[in-house]
Amino acid sequence: MDEFSFIESIKQHTYNQSSLIKGIGDDAAVFSSLSQNIVSAVDTFVEGVHFSKETMSLFHVGYRALAANISDLAAMGATPAFYLVSIVIPKGWSQEELLQIFNGMRHLARAYKMDLIGGDTVSGKEMCISVTVIGFTMKDKARYRSTAESGDIVFVTGTLGDSGAGLHILTHSNNYKEASYYINRHRMPSPRISFAIGLGHLARVTLNDISDGIASEANEIAEASNVTLLLNESEIPTNSSYNQFPVELQEKWKLFGGEDFELLGTIPPKDWDKVQQIGELTNTNVTKIGEVVEAGKNGKVILKQKHKSILLEKKGYTHLK
Amino acid sequence: MDEFSFIESIKQHTYNQSSLIKGIGDDAAVFSSLSQNIVSAVDTFVEGVHFSKETMSLFHVGYRALAANISDLAAMGATPAFYLVSIVIPKGWSQEELLQIFNGMRHLARAYKMDLIGGDTVSGKEMCISVTVIGFTMKDKARYRSTAESGDIVFVTGTLGDSGAGLHILTHSNNYKEASYYINRHRMPSPRISFAIGLGHLARVTLNDISDGIASEANEIAEASNVTLLLNESEIPTNSSYNQFPVELQEKWKLFGGEDFELLGTIPPKDWDKVQQIGELTNTNVTKIGEVVEAGKNGKVILKQKHKSILLEKKGYTHLK
């Protein structure tokens, strides 16, 4: 594969972002920030660890890698602007295969008017894709995990567990209801950008995106904010046909499955109406699932189930005495 | 290895950059730009392709990966500010080994007051490190490859071929003069940041950093600027003991070896004195090696040798008729 001609083939001929001064084609990209704040994150995906060609086309591999990164920008309340892609390609891969990955990213990038402004293509033994995203927020409007306060409402967007269910369907053939819905949620997650940006005028919103499972991200908020989150399991939203799966898998995907790329947040009760309105305006289901009940030195998450409460930890739970 | 405790161990406890609002610890990092321009690039290194544990310690692997990226910022005239690191770690690597890589990066980062603001650590089959750097330039002061004009002086910093010689010494044991000098140039290259920033007040400077060999980078300038570069081989600077190596290797490393991370530039003759002064002030040798002789639709590079001229192409040369 000729690296020069490949870069030429993925290079955008026109750019969307007015802040971009120089895109691909020099030692680095250059942009201005229009006196906003700049947000940047990176995420890496390795074949066989984070995805498999058996359950994903290369188009979906690219789509999902960028979606996961855009979801980090959503969790910061940032508007996506740019991405840089670094790919390790095993020998024997064709330029056509590589293009499919970039097509998947481009498809999603177009929806957000994001520009590809840099990258690197190197050869190696295993396929590995690393995406850096850059976005903007208004001054002092980035949303952190550390701002939750006692009395806040805890909410989540969309439905949880869908991505885990989708992967299960792809790897366990059977007759499932809404199979394509779940598969789509696994392969082409929807970062909640418009909803997160819609929250922009609110004074204080705590946000985190669900990439490792709500148990993990709720604990991140509890720890960063030094508060206790009290969640009601019965209120955690799932899709209408989600109960077709074995109960223990439902729980596993919903709490620990992750990769739904929904947003978990907390908000003062006075602003809850506004959050719901923004949800409606941006076609985003928003569900209250609990509250922030106390401040403490060690953040923790308690999940109220039907007949008991459990201490929800990042990778599992222990029963409360 | 516990990813959470590892991230904790590489996290900076204090940050240097006043523009940083939020470093590691949320979904993304946040910074402001103080109304300058922002420059960003990414580079990836794969074990066995870009480096080998036999010729480099892990400290040097980290050092060199960041140095290559900082060199891209130098070539843009940008002041380094932030870096994000994505690492794929093979099973069986210890946290201590990983720390050595980060120590190598940190060592260099400290010299430039750069802050580590994000990253990702995932497991895979082969070691792979991807570094994203972010820097700042004053408004409209980013330096491009595309601004060379007929009449310009072509210059280069430092000496060329040293990195190739260093790798040769590491892989061919023998008695060499200044062996540690060459090895050091290979393992711990010095990006020319202070020199590049020193050029800041000049109206027009064309810059490119030598990562693939001067043949490649001179052609990039010629193509991007639509000009012909006329270089004099006898003027290309090399280290005093460089003539100890076989003549064909001297030529190969100097023209095509790359990874010296020196700067190749062009400047109007009226500013050449200033460039030399900035070289002296920043302890950077600067050598005139040729001139921009004509503008044309297809950029090319001609190398004048003792008795003939050759057309220097990215990966080789052809004799001129």
Query: Which domains are seen in chain A, by residue range?
Result: 3-137 (3.30.1330.10), 153-319 (3.90.650.10)
| Unique residue bearing structure tokens 């979801």 | A71
pLDDT band for B2, please (50, 70, 90 cuts): low
ipTM: 0.87
Nearest CA in chain B to A74: B27
The C-alpha atoms of residue B190 and residue B70 are separated, in whole angstroms, by 9
> Are A43 and B209 an interchain contact pair (Cβ–Cβ within 8 Å)?
no
Q: Per-residue pLDDT averaged across A174-182, rounded? A: 96
Q: What CA–CA distance (Å, rounded) separates B179 from B125?
A: 34
Closest chain B residue to A263, measured at CA: B27
Distance between CA B135 and CA B80 in Å, rounded?
4
Provide mean pLDDT across the span A126-135: 93
Please answer yes or no on whether A26 and B76 come within 8 Å at the CB atom: yes
Do residue B124 and residue A49 have CB atoms under 8 angstroms apart?
yes
> Please, are residues A192 and A74 in contact by the beta-carbon 8 Å criterion?
yes
Mean pLDDT of A85-91: 91
Of B27, B128, B144, the CB nearest to A76: B27
pLDDT in tens, B83-95: 999 999 988 888 8
CB contact under 8 A, B27 and A118: no
Strands (DSSP E) along chain A, which ranges? Answer: 20-22, 29-32, 37-46, 79-90, 115-124, 128-137, 153-157, 206-209, 227-232, 263-267, 286-295, 300-304, 309-313, 316-319
Specify the pLDDT at position A242.
98
H-only helix segments in A162-210: 162-171, 179-187, 193-198
Among chain B residues, CA nearest to A139: B32
Query: At which residue do the structure tokens 């600067």 appear?
Result: B286
Name which of A233-237, B13-17, B112-116, B245-249 the model is least confident about.
B13-17
Output the six-digit token pair for B107.
């060592």
Contacting residues of B for A46, CB less than 8 Å apart: 88, 122-124
Residue B50 among known ligand-binding residues: yes
State yes or no: pLDDT of A1 exceeds 80: no
Q: How many residues make up chain A in this entry?
A: 321
A·B CB contacts under 8 A: 197
Region B142-150: mean pLDDT is 94
User: Which residue, among A102, A40, A50, has the nearest Cα to A72 in the 3D structure?
Assistant: A40
Rounded to an integer, the average pLDDT of B123-129 is: 90
Q: Which residues of chain B are within 8 Å of residue A85 when distances are taken between CB atoms?
A: 42
SS3 assignment, position B39: strand
**Percent residues over pLDDT 70 in chain B:** 96
Instruction: Please state, rounded to an integer, the average pLDDT across all residues of chain B.
Output: 91
Say how many C-beta atoms besides its own lie within 10 A of residue B238's C-beta: 17
Q: What is the pLDDT of residues A138-163, one digit of tens each?
A: 888 899 999 999 999 999 999 999 99
**What mean pLDDT comes out for the span A210-225?**
95
Tokens, residue A148: 């939750």
pLDDT at A169: 96
Is residue A318 predicted with pLDDT exceeding 80? no
